A and B are shown apart, each in its own frame.
Chain A
Amino acid sequence: MEADSNLFEALFQEHAAKVQAYCLRRAPVEDARDAAAEVFAVAWSKRRQLPEDEKILPWLYGIAARVLANQRRASRRKSAFLRRFLGVSERSLSGPEEQVLFNAETQEVLDALQRLGPSDREIVMLIAWEELTRDQAAVVLGCSPEAAKKRYQRATRRLERALGIDHGERTASSRYEPEVAGNE
């Protein structure tokens, strides 16, 4: 037990901030805070099944993705309740304006990300924001490296279309290779 605690203490020290950042990038602050705490509670319960070192962070992200998905499902249930019984949506409760925001470029990219499907969006964010390789992203997503590669290529292609990026003469082989995401 003491050994478990020491190991987990080290794991927490090394990864807590990154897990919290992962959650903050995907959920409101309060939800992210609770989700990140939940991630380590789950990880503690699975401490006997910890993966090898280089896969621990993707493994934690994978737990975080499921925890956040559960939160979203709960939120959707709440929205359904509001629609059904009160005749309102959470959107309508939050006011009529969408005259967003701070930085038009940032907002444009975030909007484009929102238009992607969940799995496409997740792999893009894992690679761009969590700075994972495609292989590590595959661990988070629970798919093969080859599937992650195809998903990533499809996602970036869709994102480029959403952002109106025209590559003209650029070659397909050079188009989708992120410098942080090379297969290892």
Chain B
Amino acid sequence: MSDVMRRVRNANPVPDSSHLLLDREEFTDLVVERRDKMVLGRSAATGALHPGSRWQIALVAFALVLVTGGGVWLAGSMASGDLVGADAASASEAQLALASAAHFFDALNSGDLETAQAIMAPAISRDPKIARALQFFSGLPGTKSLSSCSTTARVLWTDVACDITLSGPLFVATGQDTARGVLRVDDEGLITSSPVIGRRLEADRAFVEYAKAIEPVAFQRSCDPEAYVPGSVEISKLAESLAWTGECAQLWAELSDDAAAWVYAGKPTLDRGETIEPDPGSS
């Protein structure tokens, strides 16, 4: 076999189809839904043939294989009560993916970077910048919460689409505190991609504008991408105007209330050292 075909063979997303079937007896112990969608199940009902049950066995077997690798996440972390599973037929995959997403955001909110990075290990191993992005994102003020989640099972992963809400003052002030995004969770419960990391929100732009004017030295030291070598881990094409550092997140936290007040005030022209008093009538 040629090298290229060997590589293609190794990339086979379903390398072994034998696990797609179980014994009929084993099947009877399992709960199976979506019976009405089983074309063969309907044929079986006519008495002409009876492969429908085996078909359902195959589906359940596949779900079990996926869950086996990631049961650890199912054990304890459906903490976010408003997460909603999408598809009963792939409930196990959905639960795993939702639990992983909830666990990840819990870790970010509690400042447990080690756990957050462990859950995103596949992405970080591919791109070390993501570790920095997590550090930055975790350091932003306010909570980051998921709601209205739905899941879509893919061959190689599960997409978890959620409303991601950021409660920090600047996100609220800019009117863009919630975004619909998709986290991609693999069959081990690890997040391979997250939409929030590096997303350019209005709050980013407002912070840059405000911090550059009010705290130019601190901004340049902690947040200015130009202070870093192009290609370094602090710089991302997704955050052109902001370096992802823990120090920058700290500056954001310090300026957050004032910057929000400045936004509420209609972003008046700023002079160095100026602060904006919140408009009493604008809360």
Q: Which residues of A contact B (CB under 8 A)?
A: 1, 4-5, 8-9, 12-13, 16-18, 20-21, 24-25, 27-30, 32-34, 36-38, 40-41, 44, 93-102, 104-106, 109-110, 113, 124-125, 127-129, 156, 159-160, 163, 165, 175-181
Asked whether B127 lies within 8 Å of A33 as measured between CB atoms, the reply is no
Contacting residue for A24 out of B13, B130, B159, B198, CB 8 A: B13
Q: Which residues of B contact A127 (CB under 8 A)?
A: 5
Q: Which residues of B contact A94 (CB under 8 A)?
A: 159, 161, 182
Give the most central of A4, A96, A109, A163: most B CB within 10 Å.
Answer: A96
* Pairs across A and B, CB under 8 Å, 12 listed: A29-B62, A44-B49, A93-B180, A95-B181, A97-B194, A97-B195, A99-B127, A100-B184, A109-B10, A110-B11, A110-B13, A165-B4
Q: Which residues of A contact B62 (CB under 8 A)?
A: 20, 24, 29
In the bound assembly, the distance between CA atoms of A160 and B6 in angstroms comes to 11
Asked whether A128 lies within 8 Å of B159 as measured between CB atoms, the reply is no
B50 at the binding interface (Cβ < 8 Å): yes
In the bound assembly, the distance between CA atoms of A36 and B37 in angstroms comes to 12
In the bound assembly, the distance between CA atoms of A160 and B3 in angstroms comes to 9
In the bound assembly, the distance between CA atoms of A97 and B180 in angstroms comes to 12
Q: How far is the CB of B237 from chain A (nearest CB, A)?
A: 11
Asked whether A9 lies within 8 Å of B186 as measured between CB atoms, the reply is no
Which 7 pairs of residues, A with B, have the shortest CB-CB distance?
Answer: A21-B17, A95-B182, A95-B195, A109-B11, A128-B8, A29-B153, A12-B51
Q: Given contacts A100-B184, A102-B192, is CB(A25)–CB(B20) below 8 Å? A: no
Asked whether B39 lies within 8 Å of A41 as measured between CB atoms, the reply is yes
Q: A20-B62, A178-B1 are in contact. List 9 more A-B contacts (CB 8 A).
A: A13-B54, A30-B87, A40-B39, A96-B199, A97-B182, A100-B192, A101-B122, A109-B8, A176-B2
Q: Given contacts A41-B43, A101-B193, A178-B1, is CB(A5)–CB(B8) below 8 Å? A: no
B152 at the binding interface (Cβ < 8 Å): yes
Give the most central of A27, A28, A163: most B CB within 10 Å.
Answer: A28
B113 at the binding interface (Cβ < 8 Å): no
In the bound assembly, the distance between CA atoms of A27 and B4 in angstroms comes to 23
Contacting residue for A37 out of B14, B55, B93, B199, CB 8 A: B55
Q: Which residues of A contact B43 (CB under 8 A)?
A: 41, 44
Q: How far is the CB of B229 from chain A (nearest CB, A)?
A: 21
A interface, over-half SS: helix
Q: Which residues of B contact A (CB under 8 A)?
A: 1-5, 7-14, 17-18, 20-21, 37-40, 43, 48-51, 54-55, 58-59, 62, 87, 89-90, 93, 122-123, 126-127, 130, 152-157, 159, 161, 180-184, 186, 190, 192-195, 197-199, 238
B interface, over-half SS: mixed
Contacting residue for B48 out of A1, A16, A28, A38, CB 8 A: A1
Q: Which residue on A lies nearest to B158, using beta carbons?
A: A29
Give the most central of A30, A127, A177, A179: most B CB within 10 Å.
Answer: A30
Q: Which residues of B contact A17 (CB under 8 A)?
A: 17-18, 20-21, 58
Q: How far is the CB of A48 from chain B (nearest CB, A)?
A: 14
Asked whether B198 lies within 8 Å of A28 as measured between CB atoms, the reply is no
Q: Which residues of B contact A97 (CB under 8 A)?
A: 182, 193-195, 197-199
Q: Which residue on A lies nearest to B130, using beta carbons?
A: A99
Contacting residue for A160 out of B4, B55, B123, B154, CB 8 A: B4
Q: Which residue on B lies nearest to A174, using beta carbons?
A: B2
Asked whether B8 lies within 8 Å of A125 as measured between CB atoms, the reply is yes
Asked whether B8 lies within 8 Å of A33 as measured between CB atoms, the reply is no
Q: How far is the CB of B78 from chain A (nearest CB, A)?
A: 22
Q: Which residue on A lies nearest to B186, using beta carbons?
A: A102
Q: Given contacts A30-B87, A30-B89, A41-B40, is CB(A99)–CB(B192) below 8 Å? A: yes
Asked whether B49 lies within 8 Å of A8 as measured between CB atoms, the reply is yes
Q: Which residues of A contact B182 (CB under 8 A)?
A: 94-95, 97
